[in-house]
Structure 1
Amino acid sequence: MNFQIAVLLGQDGLTNGAIYALLALSILLVFTVTRILLIPLGEFVTFGALTMAAIQLGKTPSVEWLLLALMLVSCGMDLYDQLRTRINSRKIQHMVLKVGYAVVMVILMQTLPLAELPMAFQALLTLALMVPLGPIMYRIFFQPLADAPSLVLLIVSIAVHVSMVGVGLLLFGPEGARTQPFSDSSFALGPVMLKSQTLWVILVSILLIITLFVAFERTLYGKALRATAVNRTGARLLGISPVFAGKATFALAAFIGALSGILIAPITTLYFDSGFIISLKGFVGAIIGGLVSYPIAAIGAVAVGMIEAFSMFWASTYKEIIVFTLIIPFLIWRSMTSHHVEDDE
């Protein structure tokens, strides 16, 4: 291995690690606030990438129909809860607005000249379709089980992941897709050429991580989510709604997942079932952080990306084994250093 190859591998590893870091932070955020391991997070990545690819080809990706169907189910559940209790006119108006939003998205996707739109507007359309799926998923599948044991929530998360993989095959088909790069320019770093798309991924990831840090440290809603993560019962007594916290974290996770898919789609071909492996590598980073520490999880995720890149050079056949074996020593170390008290029956 010479210097040029090492720099190229480091470039790939840093790019992948930046995406894994975003996903690791999403997994940590959702888990600390809701106790849910968001296994379907990878589907937001692939759905976002494939939706963007379909828009660039001028095809309607059919995600708008999925959004409308799930929105109707979600509003139906809310209406049923309203009929069982006292009807709140404000909540009824909120339901109408949500259904109206889904209908508007369907109309836009059916009427706009998708392939002729600027790339920034195509990305915004993709995010507008994908982000609402996060809180809808929480409302339908997890909110009724919010107080269930963690094992039940994990089983439901696995079931949602399997279902979304099937839905992805139905919506996008078995073919993979790539999107057009944000920029075709490149920059010389000694003997190595750095692609501008790589810089886009790294810069957007860093900007998003900094924004998340500032939001959670300085804003009222960020502090409310942190309070829910520390003590759900105490947060409820202080007037912080766990339902709002769950929907907000799922919306943020959907945004990060879809944005990650948009960022990496010009670099690698993604398929309907590619999301699980991608999110699993983010999960390895989250485990390195003990499902608690955001900075350590981000650093661990970047390390996973670097190890994966260099493993492709030294032992490409075993790169997945090498990456996922990393989780074992950290689990052993966490098990030996943590002190937990058994829950009462």
Structure 2
Amino acid sequence: MDWTVFSFLAADAIQSGTIYALLALALVLVFAVTRVILVPLGEFLVFAPLTYAFFLPPAVSGLELGGQIPGTAWLSATLLAVWAVLERGHPRRALGLLLAAAGVVALAWVGARGVPPWLGWLLAVLVVLPLGPASYRLFFEPVRNATVLVYLIIAVGLHFAYQGLGLVFFGPEQYRLPAVWGGQTTVGIVPVNNQAFLVYGFAVLAMAGLYFFFTRSLYGKALRACAVNRYGARLLGISPSQAGYVSFGIATLISAVAGMLLAPLINPAYFQGFLLGLKGFVAGILGGLVSYPLAVVGALVVGGFEQWAGYASSAFKDALVFALLLPVLLWRSLRSHEIAEEE
């Protein structure tokens, strides 16, 4: 491996690691507050740009979608409507949810009729955003005292459901989307897509935003309290359910915006979310699913190891990346002296 190959691999590692870092941050946030490993996070990442494709003219997207409302809008509206039914004991809250469901469909209808690209970009994020909190309310909150294993089983089931719906909504093909910032910039000897700099900028902004949110805002401190001790937080008047909605909403927002920025670089398809989310999960595991800085470091390690594995043996690239879990899990099992039945 010479310096040229190393430089290209390093550039790709930073780009991949940044995406995994965003997903790892979202996963750690959700797990810390709710003890849910949000496996469908990768689906939220690809749903946003695939929804955006429906808001672009055929000359830009290369697809004849005919002004259709994307299936993600109907999915979000349906989940919000079911949520409203569950809240029928609180008429004002139920009415707000029904209005939100109608608003999602209205936004998608406006976007499908043709809007400027910047507005379609925003509408796509808003259409996907309710999926996170609604998923928490409908599938996880009813079993709020379940174990992490039960939550994981539910999350895996949601992943398969959302992935199957993605195939129905968008088909098997990849979508080519326009870049927000086109062109390339040469860094050293490596040409880097300008779109990648937007991904890096959003990652820095997300990390800084989460830091100030958790250290300076009342809602952020409430989420930290729920992460440390849910029962103690409830005694102090903090609602774990509200904390769950907020954490799922923030995680969905981070993944949706990351997907929108990443889309011009990968040409998204319905099936790509799973591997991206799984590698973000590996990064989170390397950070212990408790530390945001360690999750970012773990993401960069995953990104670098993935590029090295692809260079050494492309056929086993993904398998080698997932093998990073083995020494971490072994180390954690050796440190743990608890017996499951006693716990």
3-state secondary structure, aligned to 2:265? coil
Deviation at 1:146, TM superposition (A): 0.5
- Residue matched to 2:123: 125
- 1:291, distance to aligned residue in structure 2 (A): 1.4
Q: For 1:109-132, what per-residue CA distance to the aligned partner results, in whole angstroms no more than 9, with x for missing partners? A: 2244655413x3222111111111
Matched with 1:71 is: 80
Question: What residue is the counterpart of 2:134 in the other structure?
Answer: 136
Residue pair 1:114, 1:122 contacting (<8 A) in 2 also: no
Residues 230-239 or 108-117, more deviating:
108-117
Corresponding residue of 1:85: none
Query: What residue in structure 2 maps to residue 53 of structure 1?
Result: 53
| Alpha-carbon distance in structure 2 between the residues aligned to 1:253 and 1:113 | 26
Q: Distance in 1 between matches of 2:227 and 2:330?
A: 25
- 1:149 maps to a residue whose letter is T
Amino acid at match of 1:67: S
Match of 2:44 in 1: 44
Please name the residue that 2:199 is paired with: 201
Query: What residue in structure 2 maps to residue 33 of structure 1?
Result: 33
Structure 1 stretches of 4+ with a deviation exceeding 6 A read none
Partner of 1:103: 102
Q: Cα deviations across residues 131-174 of structure 1 (Å, max 9, x unaligned)? A: 11111111111111011222222211111111111111111111
Question: Which residue does 2:64 correspond to in 1?
Answer: none
Instruction: Tell me, yes or no, if the aligned pair for 2:76 and 2:131 is still in contact at 8 Å.
Output: yes
RMSD: 1.7
State how far apart, in whole Å, the 2-side matches of 1:112 and 1:226 are.
Answer: 37
Cα-to-partner distance string for 1:276-321 (whole Å, 9 max, x where unaligned):
1111101111111111121111101111011112222221111111
Distance 1:344 1:127, change over 3 A: same
**Aligned mates of 2:194, 2:77 — CA distance in 1:** 36
Task: For residues 228-281 of structure 1, give each alpha carbon's deviation from its aligned partner in whole angstroms, at most 9, with x where no partner exists.
Answer: 011110000000001101111111111111112112110112221221111110
- Determine the structure 1 residue equivalent to 2:15: 15
Shift of 1:341: 6.0
Equivalent AA in structure 1 for residue 96 of structure 2 = L
Aligned length: 334
> How far, CA to CA, are the matches of 1:160 and 1:114 in structure 2?
31
Classify 1:196/1:270 alpha carbon distance in 2 versus 1 (closer, same or farther; 3 Å).
Answer: same
Partner of 1:88: none
* Structure 2 segments unaligned to the other structure (5+ residues): 62-66
List aligned pairs for 1:158-307, cutoff 5 A.
158-307=156-305
Distance 2:29 2:12 in 1: 26
Q: State the Cα distance separating 1:67 from its structure 2 match.
A: 1.4
Q: What TM-score results when the alignment is normalised by the length of structure 1? A: 0.92
1:16 partner letter: S
C-alpha contact (below 8 Å) 2:175/2:268 kept by paired residues: yes
TM-score (norm 2): 0.92
| Residues 55 and 112, structure 2, Cα contact 8 Å, conserved in 1 | no
Q: 1:3 to 1:115 in 2, by over 3 A?
A: farther
Per the TM alignment, residue 62 of structure 1 is displaced from its structure 2 partner at its CA by 2.4
Q: Distance in 1 between matches of 2:163 and 2:112?
A: 28
